[in-house]
Amino acid sequence: MPELPEVEGVVRALVPKVEGKTIEKVELSQTIYHSWAEGKQCIVKTIEPNLFEQALQGMTISKITRRSKYIYFHLEKDDNQYLFVNHLGMTGAWFVVQDLSEITEEKFRKHTHGVFYLTSGELLVYSDIRRFGEMRFIVKEEEHPPLMQMAPEPFEPNACYFFLEKCELPKYQNKPIKEVIMDGQVISGCGNIYATESLFKMGIHPGRKTNRISKQRKIELFEVIRNILQESIEMGGSTISDYRNINGEAGGMQHRLKMYGKKICPQCGNDTKSMVIGGRTSVYCPQCQH
Ligand SMILES: [Zn+2]
């Protein structure tokens, strides 16, 4: 699943290609329409697909930004401002092409769910193999409460303090540290990959209870998370399974990962172990992490 650095990579690649351009029309997939007809809301949430298509018609994408793992397309029409918010879910990917045939990987081409025709002639294409992604058209963030509950960006000065405060809440105190640092209301944008790496670097067992870690160690852990997220942004993110930047481009961070997906610990040479924490598989070294 794309985490903060991967989403940042998508945003940075989209900005020069899409910012300032105007949407002529939108075409959503039959899969989306069928799901709505069955009372499910596949990818497009809250607003009916035909209304979503109409709403975005004629809008200018004035700015594209990232907030945690969300992509915000800031839209403008007749001096009014709107937001088109996208979450990539497990396998969402964006392409900017002249023609759909330019999407060379068949699995992405086959699972195209949104084509945004730009007046400049290009197609902005959303593809999603597993369809866990989300698209929302809203006027303000307040319309979708989870957007308001996200922790500050980890690079903001108050983010570490925010994390420490949250750790003190009864709700989090007895939870495994890995589950807590992966909670977007505690730290923004840290998922399984970077949580695994950070805990390995700190020598902390992923299942350790949050209140069994000293304040000083928590501060160090936060710094490690922030640094690894920054390093990964600079590397273009980790290309694992179906994550792509845009137009199928890969990042390079996966070559620097030391524990995520590893069978052997690079530090001591022993076999790694895995356990399920908060519903996610967690790899760790029983020798190096306590
Ligand atoms: Zn080890």
Going from the Cα of 234 to the center of ligand 1, the distance in angstroms, rounded, reads 27
Task: Spot the catalytic one: 21, 66, 69, 178.
Answer: 69
pLDDT range class, residue 149, cuts 50, 70, 90 = very high
101 and 209 inside one domain: no
φ/ψ of residue 260, rounded to 5: -60, 120
Q: Is 77 a catalytic residue?
A: no
Q: Is residue 289 part of a domain?
A: no
Q: Mark whether 79 and 205 lie in a shared domain.
A: no
> What pLDDT, on a 0 to 100 scale, did the predictor assign at position 249?
84
**At residue 284, what is the residue type?**
Y
What is each CA distance from 39 to 33, 137, 144, in whole angstroms?
10, 19, 20
Q: Are residues 18 and 129 in the same domain?
A: yes
Question: Is 171 found in the same domain as 132?
Answer: no
- Same domain for 193 and 93, yes or no, is no
Q: Is residue 290 domain-resident?
A: no
- Domain boundary residue among 132, 149, 166? 149
Q: 198 - beta bridge partners?
A: none
Q: Do 273 and 171 fall within a single domain?
A: yes
| CA torsion, ordered 113, 124, 121, 21, to nearest 10 deg | 130
Q: How far is the CA of 221 from the centre of ligand 1 (A)?
A: 18
Domain count along the chain: 2
Residue 101 parent element (H or E): none
Q: What is the predicted pLDDT for the residue at 36?
A: 97
Q: Of the residues 3, 134, 179, 197, which is catalytic? A: 3
In whole angstroms, give the CA distance from residue 173 to residue 121.
Answer: 53
Expressed as residue numbers, the domain containing 169 is 158-284
Residue 108 lies in a domain: yes
Residues in Cβ contact with 40 at an 8 Å cutoff, skipping those fewer than 6 apart: none
In the chain, the amino acid numbered 128 is D
CATH of the domain at 166: 1.10.8.50
Residue 250 pLDDT more than 90? no
The pLDDT of 84-106, averaged and rounded, is 95
pLDDT averaged over every residue in the chain = 96
Flag whether 103 is in a domain: yes
Q: pLDDT per residue over 38-73, tens digit each?
A: 999 999 999 999 999 999 999 999 999 999 999 999
pLDDT above 90 coverage of the chain, percent: 94
Known catalytic residue at 141: no
Q: Which residues pair with 282 in a beta bridge?
A: 275
Per residue in 179-238, pLDDT tens?
999 999 999 999 999 999 999 999 999 999 999 999 999 999 999 999 999 999 999 999
Residues 232 and 256 occupy one common structural domain: yes
The domain boundary residue, chosen from 149, 184, 218: 149
Looking at the fold, whether 145 and 228 belong to one and the same domain comes out as no
Give the end of a domain, one of 120, 149, 178: 149
Distances (CA, A) of 91 to 122, 139, 253: 22, 26, 18
Looking at the fold, whether 179 and 137 belong to one and the same domain comes out as no
Residues 59, 102, single domain; the answer is: yes
